[in-house]
Amino acid sequence: MFSNIDHKALAALLHGQGCANSLKTLLDNREISSVLIEPLINTILDSFSLALSFVDSPNPPLHHESSSQNMAGLVPQRSSKKEICGIHVIKNYRDESPTPRPDDGFTWRKYGQKTIKTSVHQRSYYRCAYAKEHNCNATKRVQMIQDCPPVYRTTYMGQHICKSIPVYDDTYGSEMIQFDQVVSESVMPIFTSTDHEAITIEEDKATDHTMNQECDINDFLVAYDHFWPNEFPSFSYGDSVFS
DNA sequence: TAAATTTGACCTAC
DNA sequence: GTAGGTCAAATTTA
């Protein structure tokens, strides 16, 4: 089952989900008041930051002091999530485009490919192209998880410290991640980019039994084809910006 | 010809 | 012993 940290990350996400629901209710009722809305938005953003921090960082930042009290009880601490050589898994994205998207804002170099026992598809391994020059430890794994339509899972690991220039507008920061709507209580919330293009986040284990068992509540999938045709909402992770 | 990719071998954790 | 991850030589591509 989930670790204590996973529970806290989930709790943070659910907290943000609840606030997103409240925000939606306000908007539905045309109660467009900054006094009401801003605290909710701040709390939602903090929920994301905190949830990510449980996964990624021993010292998670809180972007909005104004709402940090709302997250009382969700004390950040070092994630107990699976580590490989001290590197934390960061994100999984599901790419429903015919080919895995290479232009995620960083330059990658393929260094390996393996047939995975639990999947008929091979898994490709990439590391940052500047791994040696800048001692950047960022890596990613790309694996097809479905033939029709082609679906790829990309798992990002480590942090980019190479300061490579993201393809997408850097004006998006972590604070630009926002909830647009919440589909249901049983579905993870939806990210949107700044043009409000919906990005579905699915909990992985419940739906993908063909993959190997690397995913937990912290790993989620994003429909790339919803994501990439528009400006990718880069989000900060420590000193890195993930796109 | 340099850079990128492929692929079999090797290493390590379980 | 097995499986996943990485290395590095060989091969391909621009």
- Would you say residue A26 has pLDDT above 60? yes
Strand B closer than 7 Å to the CB of A164?
no
- Would you say residue A63 has pLDDT above 70? no
- pLDDT at A110 (0 to 100): 92
Q: Which residues contact A126 (CB under 8 A, 6 or more apart)?
A: A108, A109, A110, A111, A139, A140, A141, A142
* Residue ranges of domains in chain A, CATH in brackets: 4-71 (no CATH), 83-242 (2.20.25.80)
- Distance from CA(A72) to C1'(B8), angstroms, rounded: 53
Give A13 or A168, the one with higher predicted confidence: A13
- pLDDT at A111 (0 to 100): 92
Strand B closer than 7 Å to the CB of A210?
no
- pLDDT at A193 (0 to 100): 29
Give the pLDDT band of residue A70 (cuts 50, 70, 90).
very low
Least confident segment among A44-58, A130-144, A179-193, A211-225: A179-193
| pTM as predicted | 0.47
Give the pLDDT band of residue A168 (cuts 50, 70, 90).
very low
Instruction: Give residues lining strand C (CB < 7 Å).
Output: A 84-85, 111-112, 114, 116-118, 123, 125, 127, 139, 141, 212, 214
- Would you say residue A143 has pLDDT above 80? yes
Give A202 or A31, the one with higher predicted confidence: A31
Give A30 or A128, the one with higher predicted confidence: A128
Kindly write down the DSSP assignment for every residue of chain A, as one continuous string. Answer: ---HHHHHHHHHHHHHHHHHHHHHHHHHTT---HHHHHHHHHHHHHHHHHHHHHHH-SS---S-HHHHGGGTT-------S-EETTEEEEEEEEE-SSS----SSS-EEEEEEEE-TT-SSEEEEEEETTTTTS----EEEEEEEETTTTEEEEEEES---S-PPPSS-TT--GGG-EE-----TTS---EE-TT--EE-EEESTTT--SS-TT--TT-EEEBHHHHTTS----EEETTEEE-
Give A108 or A178, the one with higher predicted confidence: A108
- Would you say residue A38 has pLDDT above 80? no
Give the pLDDT band of residue A52 (cuts 50, 70, 90).
low
CA distance A30 to A198: 21
- Would you say residue A188 has pLDDT above 70? no
CA distance A41 to A38: 5
- pLDDT at A196 (0 to 100): 29
**8 Å CB contact between A231 and A168:** yes
- pLDDT at A41 (0 to 100): 67
Nearest to A60 by CA among A108, A125, A12, A1: A12
